[in-house]
Amino acid sequence: MRDLLMIPGPVEFEPEVLQALGAPTLGHTDPAFIALFGRALKRMREVCLAPGAQPFVVAGSGTLAMEMAVANLVEPGDRALVVNTGYFSDRMAKILERHGAQVTHVRAAPGDVPSADEVETHLVRGGFKVMTVTHVDTSTAVLTPVEALVRAARKHGVLSVVDGVCATAGESFHQDAWGADVYLTASQKAVGVPPGLALLTVGPRAMEAWRARKTPVASVYSDWAEWLPIMEAYEAGKPAYFATPPVNLVCALEVSLGQILAEGMEARFARHQRMARAFRAAWKALGLRMLPTSDAVAAHTLSAVYYPDGVDAALVGRVKGQGIVVAGGLHPELKARYFRVGHMNRVGPTDVLAAVGAVERALLAAGHRSEPGAAVAAAQASLVAG
Ligand code: PMP
């Protein structure tokens, strides 16, 4: 029997998306492919609520999307402010430093976020070209108050780059309205497409900053100068070539983005919130503590939950034995002390109850004391309450 994949990416995908991925490959200059690539680009703007942005769809993973943003915006000696909420913020800092930026971190303890005031204090001091924010840090399940932060960056004339790899199309985000300059993501999480695509929507200020560079972008494959004419051509219905596009993944993306838009962005954000609330009710009923220090900073796309006393990382294997794949910890300081459950993309009430039931059975088998069925009942009550 097939296990249900509930890690924080890759996730379970819709059959129509997988069919598109498995269909005979079109030539990258086939008129049918040009038309659907053009639609996928337009849909990227709608999903990110960024009508004024330039989308980029490139073969690669989320890390490439991070590197593309940095490589195109940062020049050696530029100063960057990293709002650091964990493992993937550290990765962003590493990429920034590799591209010659001088990085300042504004950190919080694992499970928490730096306050908007603290971030603004740094922004006020001036001198930063970019500020990076991890929308949801997948290592801690912390949701950053991204709207306040990007608005502050804009106020102080600093470009904001938001890593939405574990958030895009799952967590509320209004790129244009909030004034975020770059939103970057990957295909394999709430965007609903198997791994392999680096995705960015780049706002006009960021495009302007890229155009005003004095030094060339230090990577040919990442350079927007190579990709911009390609994206523009596909949107205009014309063939173009720089590097062979991942044709089948782009076909799958076009399908998934269509499904996401058919659900509606606000409805989709609300569904992710409902599922997250049901999981939280279950963790509480089991007497488990979440890594995020409060509900206000807890992501809706995944849960990170401490093992109770007497239970260790072997729980992940026990949960798999119950038919659900969850993930272990990732934050270097706390890795062995918690597990993570992804709840993105097509996750609905049935998946929530199945996952909670599996975790509950595995915990009971590991010797944890709780009333059998209490966690499932709590999740169910939350789902019924809406
Ligand atoms: N940023 C965040 C927030 C992530 O969760 C991930 C992947 N888990 C990445 C960046 C890197 O993406 P990828 O693994 O696709 O390179």
User: What mean pLDDT is predicted for residues 204-233?
Assistant: 98
- Would you call 112 exposed, middle or buried from its count of C-beta atoms within 10 A (0-12, 13-18, 19+)? middle
Q: What pLDDT shows up at residue 207?
A: 98
pLDDT at 203 over 90: yes
User: What mean pLDDT is predicted for residues 280-293?
Assistant: 98
pLDDT at 121 over 90: yes
Binning pLDDT at 50, 70 and 90, where does residue 288 land? Answer: very high
Q: What residue ranges do the domains of the chain occupy?
A: 15-263, 264-385
User: What mean pLDDT is predicted for residues 192-198?
Assistant: 98
Outline where the chain has alpha helix (H). Answer: 15-22, 31-47, 62-73, 87-98, 116-125, 146-155, 175-178, 204-211, 224-235, 247-263, 265-285, 314-321, 349-365, 374-385
Q: What pLDDT shows up at residue 1?
A: 81
Please give the distance, rounded to the nearest whole angstrom, from the Cα atom of residue 165 to the centre of ligand 1. 5
Report the alpha-carbon distance of residue 30 to residue 35 in Å, rounded. 9
Q: What pLDDT shows up at residue 246?
A: 98
- CATH 3.40.640.10 is right for the domain spanning 15-263: yes
Binning pLDDT at 50, 70 and 90, where does residue 198 land? Answer: very high
User: What mean pLDDT is predicted for residues 185-212?
Assistant: 98
Instruction: Collect all residues with Cβ–Cβ distance below 8 Å to 91 and sequence separation of at least 6.
Output: 63, 66
Report the alpha-carbon distance of residue 206 to residue 84 in Å, rounded. 21
Instruction: Please write the tens of the pLDDT for every residue from 69-81.
Output: 999 999 999 999 9
User: What mean pLDDT is predicted for residues 192-209?
Assistant: 98
**Residues 376 and 324 sit within 8 Å (Cβ to Cβ):** no
Task: Report the chain's mean pLDDT, rounded to a whole number.
Answer: 97
Q: Which residues pair with 340 in a beta bridge?
A: 304, 327
pLDDT at 126 over 90: no
Given the CA of residue 139, which atom of ligand 1 is nearest to it?
5
Binning pLDDT at 50, 70 and 90, where does residue 358 land? Answer: very high
Q: Which residues have any ligand 1 atom within 6 Å of their CB?
A: 9, 61-63, 88, 134, 137-138, 163, 165-166, 186
Report the alpha-carbon distance of residue 358 to residue 238 in Å, rounded. 50
Please give the distance, rounded to the nearest whole angstrom, from the Cα atom of residue 201 to the centre of ligand 1. 16
Given the CA of residue 186, which atom of ligand 1 is nearest to it?
15
Instruction: Please write the tens of the pLDDT for every residue from 38-59.
Output: 999 999 999 999 999 999 999 9
Please give the distance, rounded to the nearest whole angstrom, from the Cα atom of residue 67 to the centre of ligand 1. 12
Candidate CATH numbers 3.40.50.720, 3.90.1150.10, 3.40.50.2300, 3.40.830.10; the one for domain 264-385: 3.90.1150.10
Q: What pLDDT shows up at residue 386?
A: 86
Please give the distance, rounded to the nearest whole angstrom, from the Cα atom of residue 65 to the centre of ligand 1. 9
- Would you call 219 exposed, middle or buried from its count of C-beta atoms within 10 A (0-12, 13-18, 19+)? middle
Ligand 1 pocket test, pick from 7, 11, 58, 63 with the greatest ligand atom count within 8 Å of Cβ, gives: 63
pLDDT at 147 over 90: yes
Given the CA of residue 198, which atom of ligand 1 is nearest to it?
15
Overall size of the chain counted in residues: 386
Q: What pLDDT shows up at residue 329?
A: 97
Report the alpha-carbon distance of residue 220 to residue 225 in Å, rounded. 9
Instruction: Please write the tens of the pLDDT for every residue from 251-276.
Output: 999 999 999 999 999 999 999 999 99
Binning pLDDT at 50, 70 and 90, where does residue 336 land? Answer: very high
